Amino acid sequence: MIQLTAHMRILVCTTPLDMRKGIDGIQAYCRQVLCENPMNGAAFMFISRSRKQLRVLVYDGQGFWLCSKRLSAGRFPHWPEAQAGSPRWLKELESCEAQALLHGGDPRQIKPMLPWKKILLPSSFLTGVA
């Protein structure tokens, strides 16, 4: 089973991929076109030209997982666009944004969790002395 966790790096290819490619073709695409190592533990998400099918490639330390989802009706309407200043074909998403994308939602509407902040407490709080 593949889990998209908060600490996982999730990379979305903003240009369509030929869905006839298998694991070897997609990992070669990651290396040659995206200039990323597919064995680094990141999840790579791809969309078909028709936007009816997506694929996720993940390396789990032992081998590759390639998962596909093809919609029976409709299309994935909110596929991310490339950001200015980044490679035109890659965008990094938070896990909550990727989950929304997998379910046909709009990842732009999701507000990622804020990073944890250390809160300094007075020493009297820790000792119980006022």
What does the pLDDT profile of the chain (130 residues) look like in tens digits?
Answer: 567 777 888 899 888 999 999 999 999 999 998 899 999 989 999 999 999 999 999 998 899 999 999 989 888 887 777 666 655 678 888 787 888 778 777 676 666 555 555 556 566 655 655 5
d(CA 7, CA 41) in angstroms, rounded, equals 11
Per-residue burial over 19-46, b = 16 or more CB atoms within 10 Å of its CB, e = otherwise: bebeeeebbebbeeebebebeeebbbbb
| pTM recorded for the entire structure | 0.76
Token look-up 């009706």 returns 73
CA end-to-end span of the chain, whole Å? 51
Distance of CA 103 to the CA centre of its chain: 13
